[in-house]
Structure 1
């Protein structure tokens, strides 16, 4: 039987308590925070992050940490959340923490692992996400993985006195074509 949470380079794993202190360091980097969410940038302690994880609604959120297979290094997290079981729809969020780990295909692999999990294990019909228009790298990864633009919330995000669009993107299960070799 396949390990649906393992790819060629990465594993999606259960978060460990010691992970959250490392993730807390990512939350001190401005571009990480400002691309992750539209909320005001705010550093969070490892304890706060762990408490947030412990308070997840296990019925509507599936949260994993992303680790490299080669050296079991924590590089990010991915989650399907706000799952509406009756409609078979979920929201997705993903982050690669250290800027040195970006641009190596890890985001694409982790995204495809999570999409495969969502569509083939959770039986979702559609996965949606929001992305700030300035996050060109993420938009490229999403488009390359099959997501399509579904709408624009014009000038919804304010950063450094400027306003930017917030894009809504979606992918249907029937359109999912893995961009990685699923092992």
Structure 2
């Protein structure tokens, strides 16, 4: 039996401007905080920039997801803005943040 470990998705690719959105996740919480997301992100960015020749990749993340934000920053993503109090859950609000990375920033981090 095979179980889904996680995913990395490139979507809404704008070929004319060489931009794309990404999303990723690790399903089972027992696999969180072990570096798997970081590895998936690094492999996915390599594919986006080297194979697809994209120049920019962007994503959104909720402010409460501190581990994901740390992983994104480690890979070279920059915080570019966001939407305040975007998510309403269990009486709490959470900001949705926009992060982006340019090909040259990714190249500088991977060296």
What TM-score, normalized by structure 1, do the two folds share? 0.57
How far apart are the structure 2 equivalents of 1:157 and 1:97?
Answer: 21
Q: Does 1:85 align with 2:19?
A: no
* SS of residue matched to 2:30: helix
What residue in structure 2 maps to residue 133 of structure 1? 63
* Superposed counterparts of 1:21-36, under 5 Å: 22=3
Bigger-Rg structure (1/2): 1
1:109 to 3, 17, 39: 39
Moved over 6 A (4+): none
Q: Which runs of 5+ in 2 are unaligned?
A: none
How far apart are 1:178 and its partner, in Å?
2.8
Deviation of residue 163 (structure 1)? 1.4
Residues 116, 178 of structure 1: 8 Å contact kept: no
User: Residue 164 of structure 1: CA displacement?
Assistant: 1.2
Q: Give the CA deviation at 1:157.
A: 1.0
Map of 1:178 onto structure 2: 110
- Gaps spanning 5+ residues in structure 1: where? 1-17, 23-73
Q: Does 1:123 align with 2:53?
A: yes
Distance in 2 separating the partners of 1:76 and 1:149: 24
| 1:155 positional shift | 0.8
Matches within 5 A, 1:162-177: 162-176=92-106, 177=109
User: Shift of residue 102 of structure 1?
Assistant: 1.4
Asked if structure 2 preserves the Cα contact closer than 8 Å seen for 1:158 and 1:164, the reply is yes
TM-score, normalised relative to structure 2: 0.92
Match of 1:146 among 70, 76, 80: 76
Give the secondary-structure state (helix, strand or coil) at the position aligned to 1:103: coil
Q: Which has the higher strand share?
A: 2
State the SS of the aligned residue for 1:153: strand
Q: CA deviation at 1:159?
A: 1.2
